[in-house]
Amino acid sequence: MVDWLKEAQARQDDLLADLTSILEIPSERATEHGTSDYPLGPGPAKALAKMLAIGERDGFVTKNVENVAGRIQYGAGSEIFGLLGHMDVVPAGPGWVTDPFKPVIKDGNLIARGSSDDKGPAMAAYYALKIIKELELPVNKQIHYIFGTDEESEWVGIDRYLEVEPTPDFGFSPDAEFPIINGEKGIASFKVTFKPELATAGSRELSHFQSGIRANMVPQTAVAIVKGHDLDQLGTALTTFAAENDLIADAEIQDEQVSLTLTGKGAHAQEPRDGVNAGTYLALFLSQQALDPAGQQYVQTISQWLHLDSRGAKLGIAHTDELMGELTASPDIFAYEAGQGGTVLINVRYPQGTNAELINQQIEQQINAANVTCQIEGHAQEPHYVSGEDPLVKTLLAVYERQTGQPGHEQVIGGGTYGRILKRGVAFGAQFPGQPNVMHQANEFMPIADIIKATAIYAEAIYELVRP
């Protein structure tokens, strides 16, 4: 009998040192800085290389796949068990009290971008594998710990890996919640485009509107520039509006224009209600002002069809499934320039029973404007589900129950993990029940005690799945 928690605790200092070295690397995808060697930008590639170097140091076999993905390998056998993590992070964004890439420990929490999504859990799973190796426990399967480098965007890395390397037979991703995630909604983004066909002249002209940094993040700040008359009044009105809606406002007048800024609360787009969408609130405020026809259409459409509509009812896309629950809709990236038109990117997490093509049609039909179109942006992912009767799910839940004393149960989420790339793939931890979901938020953190507890759970779970 192995005391898994004791083994994890004995390695805590080493684990935190290795984790810190990974967290210190800003690894958001940055294709604008990509090269032939680093197609997704240098940050993700550096984080991947560091993780693989840790594996090599500890005697594992490693492989780097074109600097966009890689694996740490152990064991032998005809079947492949896969662990699926990612080394990229979403951009830090505003609102941090500490440097997001200089990890600090406060009140038992490790604070840094990526601490909970996904570098902290990924390192916990690595140390779980390391425990099995160092204890020389017998295994009868190959274990491939696979790392992608743009899980937070287009999955180029993991898709390339699967093109040139063997696909695991089954496995899990340490990138979500305990007790288990054995179902994931479909995910698709929809780009609503406003063609520049309306007039931009008026007593007040919307010159610029911008909010959001990633399709899977509720935008925390929004900025608009308005030109014209009575700009002092506009700034005062924004301050009143912000106070009434628990937002933070700022207005700066310069050269016959006013820059208006609203600050809300960022969150993971899988549950828009966890955030306060600065983009839709600023559009709501501006829709109540007298603007030029093109600018008025842009903000009016947002306020009418997208503001406080996390379930897509106003858009006409609402859908609920008994197994997977409600569809969620989160408008996350806004861009408008006078004379050039504008766009809004809506991130939708949808259950089985609908599809991306139908949702796209419904959005376009609901907005119903001659100069407004809608199209699917990027790759759409279908809903994914592994039965609760599958031995993989049963084994993981049994381990969770043994180590925590808490009952296990199935869960379906709106988040997307690498678990869905395998027919028998799930997500397993590392956020424990009752802990706040701070993924994609400013001041992201993970309790150190939870990292160590997750390491123990992962170690036992991996061993139960690969033992003779």
Q: State pLDDT tens for residues 391-404.
A: 999 999 999 999 99
Q: 143: buried, middle or exposed (CB in 10 Å: 19+, 13-18, 0-12)?
A: buried
Q: Quick check: helix, strand or coil at residue 50? A: helix
Residue 255: pLDDT above 90? no
| Predicted local confidence at residue 260, as pLDDT | 98
Distance CA 106, CA 319 (A): 42
Asked whether 260 and 162 are in contact (CB, 8 A), the reply is no
Distance CA 384, CA 419 (A): 9
pTM given for the model: 0.89
Using pLDDT thresholds of 50, 70 and 90, give the confidence band for residue 230: confident
pLDDT tens digit sequence for 55-97: 999 999 999 999 999 999 999 999 999 999 999 999 999 899 9
Q: For residue 131, how many other CB atoms are within 10 A of its CB?
A: 23
Q: For residue 418, how many other CB atoms are within 10 A of its CB?
A: 27
| Predicted local confidence at residue 457, as pLDDT | 98
| Predicted local confidence at residue 263, as pLDDT | 97
Could you tell me which residues are beta bridge partners of residue 118? none
Average pLDDT, the chain: 97
The CATH class of the 4-185+384-466 domain is alpha beta
Distance CA 240, CA 323 (A): 43
Residue 415: pLDDT above 90? no
Residue 202: pLDDT above 90? no
| Predicted local confidence at residue 379, as pLDDT | 83
User: Residues 6 or more apart from 417 whose CB is under 8 A from it?
Assistant: 84, 151, 173, 175, 176, 181, 184, 427
Share of the chain above pLDDT 90, in %: 96
Distance CA 356, CA 257 (A): 40
What are phi and psi for residue 382, nearest 5 degrees? -75, 160
User: Residues 6 or more apart from 240 whose CB is under 8 A from it?
Assistant: none
| Predicted local confidence at residue 277, as pLDDT | 98
Burial 302-323 (b: 16+ CB within 10 A, else e): bbebbbebbbbeebebbbebee
Length of the chain: 468
Q: Which of 231-235, 302-306, 326-330 has the lowest mean pLDDT?
A: 231-235
- Average the pLDDT over 38-63 and give the result: 98
Catalytic residues: 88, 151
Asked whether 392 and 221 are in contact (CB, 8 A), the reply is no
- Average the pLDDT over 412-420 and give the result: 93
Asked whether 168 and 248 are in contact (CB, 8 A), the reply is no
Residue 201: pLDDT above 90? no
Q: For residue 399, how many other CB atoms are within 10 A of its CB?
A: 24
Using pLDDT thresholds of 50, 70 and 90, give the confidence band for residue 229: confident
Would you kindly state where each structural domain of the chain is located, as residue ranges?
Answer: 4-185+384-466, 187-381
Candidate CATH numbers 3.40.50.450, 3.30.70.360, 3.90.1300.10, 3.40.50.300; the one for domain 187-381: 3.30.70.360
